[in-house]
Chains A and B, each alone.
Chain A
Amino acid sequence: MVHIVPEIIKESVTNLVKNGERTDGRAFDEYREISLETGVIEKAEGSARVKIGNTQIIIGAKPQIGSPFGDTPNVGVLMTNTELLPMAAPNFESGPPDENSVELSRVTDRCIREGEVVDLEKLCIVEGEKVWMIFLDLHVVDYDGNLMDAAVLGSVAALMNTKLPEAKIIDDEIVLDYDNLIPLPINDTALMSTFAKIGDELIIDPSLEEEEVMGARLSVGITQDGNICAMQKGGEKTFTQEEILKAVSIAKIKTAELRKLLP
């Protein structure tokens, strides 16, 4: 399907950016209003609702006991799954995850995994036999641009909100003590900042309108020490080396600001 509207607005949005302005009046390095709540789902062991502008994701974390992977017998498992719900945008369809949904899951997973947000080794119950598996489900209910940053921010918040029953081994059996809930072991709070390239400019937290006209996109994941833990380039246009380095240095400042929103 040809998107007619973006072709029409492309010129005006691009010209605005050329003059240092954005359609909603934000500065190039300014996020939209963000709201973050945790513990919104009582039946989930951890949960969060994040809104960046009108983009909204509800995230739930649910633990299960399962077998570890063969090559990491003493490490717990983290599974990230995204549903781009058809209610979130007129062009989202129900059915198995499409490539955008898989990319969102995998980049979110990468930022959390490589940023070592969860101490997965502490989730081992019996080495080589039983470990905690944490299922992180991202329910995208309203899509108005920049799902990536919302997904990582909400996921980290949901993980920080997660409590597991204590797993004890009594007579070779695993006993779960629901009276003794322990918070998930959190090591780091890696977060992500995404930039859209419109013309020759980089703008942070692109809105839907900006995403529709952007040439390329760059997401940068930063740990709380300011190191880079994940990156993803998207879109058909290119970046120069300088642009990428500039994005990294802005991302370091902006993720530090986002971090203050975490519980």
Chain B
Amino acid sequence: MIIIITNTNLGTGTETSGRADNRAFDELRKMKIEAGVLERADGSAYLEIGGNKVLAAVYGPRELFVRRLMQPNKAVLRCKYNMAPFSVDDRKRPGPDRRSVEISKIASEALTPAVFLEKFPRSTIDVFIEVIEAEGGTRCAGITAASVALADAGIPMRDMVVACAAGKSDGKVILDLSEVEDKEGQADVPIAIMPRTGEITLLQMDGNLTEEEFEQALDLAINGCKIISEKQKAAIKNRYGDE
């Protein structure tokens, strides 16, 4: 069920939205998710939203060779976020930079609460997020794809984590910022939730919002997550059929 939040800056509906791509303030970009797209990985997923193209792959649970990371009572979940050099307008130098290291960390932390890690002591679950093409919102796209890949790998989970951002651009609180809206906008609030309970596993914010605007953005993002969550489930059902 989609609950429409009334935005004080707006009337209703699409025609007054004034967004560059004519979306309503609470409308997501066009998206698709596919599960099980790679042969070698234990689980994988491909996700497109707007101009973003993201691949996620999961290996594990498997032996952890780095002894100092090993947990005697549970598995560790390690996530690596990486951007292809050709994914952005000006070629990105290959290899990790500060941004991708931070995103890797917060993505690991966003996914970890959903996974029954205690079932696999002393082992690791490796999650790889590859951004093939970037157009704003790659961390959310990556986390959403990674959850589908985890499910595709058959890893027991409490819920499928889903991520989505809301923010403020052109003075209005809007859902799912595009690259232009993010660059020219005043704020960006990416979140991830476990949709069954609504618990928030990732929250970042940059920019400038009033308390009311933040509340609106959070509501918008949670609703966006719920819509994307249905697409995640559909991708898994598509691959494995209805149970």
Which A residues form the contact surface with B (CB < 8 A)? 41-44, 47, 54, 56, 58, 60-62, 64, 81, 83, 85-90, 94, 96, 135, 137, 139, 141-144
Stretch at the interface among B19-27, B68-76, B81-89, B115-123: B81-89
Partner of A141, one of B51, B86, B130: B130
The answer to whether B86 touches A81, judged by C-beta atoms less than 8 angstroms apart, is no
Tell me the minimal C-beta distance from B223 to chain A in angstroms.
29
Please count the residue pairs between chain A and chain B whose beta carbons lie under 8 angstroms apart in the complex.
88
Report the interface size class on chain B.
Answer: 20 to 34
B57 within 8 A of A: yes
Contact call A87/B91, Cβ cutoff below 8 A: no
Chain A residues, Cβ within 8 Å of B56: 87
Whether B89 pairs with A43 at a CB distance below 8 angstroms is: yes
Contact between B55 and A60 (Cβ–Cβ < 8 Å)?
no
Q: A81-B85, A137-B85, A142-B38 are in contact. Are A90 and B80 (CB under 8 A)?
A: no
Contact A43 B40 (CB under 8 A): no
Knowing that A58-B132, A141-B130 touch, tell me 12 more A-B residue pairs with CB under 8 angstroms.
Answer: A41-B84, A41-B87, A42-B51, A62-B90, A62-B91, A64-B90, A85-B130, A86-B126, A87-B55, A87-B56, A90-B59, A90-B62
Least CB distance, B64 to chain A, in whole angstroms:
13
Q: What separation, in Å, do the CA atoms of A139 and B133 have in the docked complex?
A: 12
Which 6 pairs between the two chains have the least Cβ-Cβ distance?
A: A60-B86, A87-B57, A54-B39, A87-B128, A44-B86, A137-B85
| A85 in contact with B38 (CB, 8 Å) | no
**Alpha-carbon distance A115/B82, docked complex (angstroms):** 32
Within the assembled complex, what's the spacing in Å between the Cα atoms of A76 and B55?
A: 33
Task: Find out whether the CB atom of B132 lies under 8 angstroms from the CB atom of A41.
Answer: yes
